[in-house]
Amino acid sequence: MSEPSRWHRYLHLLRPNVDADIDAELRFHLEARTRDFEALGLTPEDARHEAVRRFGDLAGVQKWLRAHDHHRLRREARVEHMETVIQDVRYAARRLWQQPAFSLSVVLVLALGIGATTSMFSAVDAALLRPLPFHRDDQLVVLHDVHLPFALAESQTVAHLDDARALPAFQEIAAYAPGALNLGLGDAPARISVGVVTPNLFPMLGVSPVLGRHFAAAEGAPGAPAIALISHAIWRHHYAGSAEVLERDVVLNGKPYRIAGVMPPRLAFPNE
């Protein structure tokens, strides 16, 4: 244990220096024991060696004392910090109670600030941070108003879906068109969001029904039977979560659609 430097002594004036205090205490104890053995006739070197031997595990004791004192200081610092916070809160509460008009202004400003921050974070989280609930969402691309240039024409022609599928850049292409229809519920119809999709859309997105099946390929052809996949919320609220829903129809704008399956609860396509 070496003599503490001048800087350590200066820092001790600002805050407790646990390591220096422990080293000084152990050094004082060993030096006192060394003097006792010298008084018995031992040489200084033998006296020092005997004092260390009689003390025992010096490094172990030093490590335990440092851990103990550091823990005690941290606990005392936490208690002191909490007492300071409580005093500040009490003082602020008294000041706000004495000035109700100012207090109301502070509350309104805080409410507006917290609300604006929450709304902004929710928008950023939904648009930038939260991953899409689809398989391999980092490879999904949305094509709007797809146009393909043709070498023999100066203008551009709207590409057919099969033309887009022929492009080597895409592994698979599906289409959907969002909208809204009236859900027939007796005398109380409800306006709901719907989407007309190609049969391969949900398999491409990696989304499977929790009940029933996907659309069949033949059901996407003109004149095919009217088939629908319903959301988990509609299944729970309007069909009481019955497994027999697959044998029933859902009426949209007065037209019956046979229910083929029920989608997962977290899927709100195409709303989100």
Going by C-alpha positions, the residue among 184, 200, 204 that lies closest to residue 249 is 184
Q: Read off the tokens for 177.
A: 């068109």
Whether 66 and 18 have beta carbons less than 8 Å apart is answered as yes
Q: What's the CA gap between 199 and 44, in Å, rounded?
A: 95
Distances (CA, A) of 118 to 104, 130, 271: 21, 15, 21
Residue 245 DSSP class: G
pTM of the shown model? 0.48
Q: Read off the tokens for 76.
A: 């005392």
- Would you call 250 exposed, middle or buried from its count of C-beta atoms within 10 A (0-12, 13-18, 19+)? buried
Q: What is the pLDDT of residue 151?
A: 38
Instruction: Provide block-wise average pLDDT over 10 residues at a time, the chain (272 residues).
Output: 49 62 81 84 83 79 82 85 89 81 82 87 72 75 59 42 77 82 78 86 89 89 86 88 87 90 81 56
> Each residue of 173-191: pLDDT tens digit?
888 878 888 888 766 778 8
**In the chain, where does DSSP find H-type helix?**
6-14, 18-39, 44-55, 58-98, 100-124, 161-165, 201-205, 232-238
> Each residue of 216-228: pLDDT tens digit?
988 877 788 889 9
Q: Which residue in the block uniquely carries the two structure tokens 């002594």? A: 9
Strand partners, 203: none
Handedness of CA 38, 42, 46, 51 (dihedral sign): negative
Q: What's the CA gap between 109 and 105, in Å, rounded?
A: 6
Q: What is the pLDDT of residue 145?
A: 66
Whether 120 and 128 have beta carbons less than 8 Å apart is answered as no
Q: What is the pLDDT of residue 71?
A: 84
Q: How many CA atoms lie within 13 A of 13 on its CB side?
A: 4
- Would you call 160 exposed, middle or buried from its count of C-beta atoms within 10 A (0-12, 13-18, 19+)? exposed
Q: Which helix (H) or strand (E) holds 177?
A: strand 176-183
Q: What is the pLDDT of residue 211?
A: 93
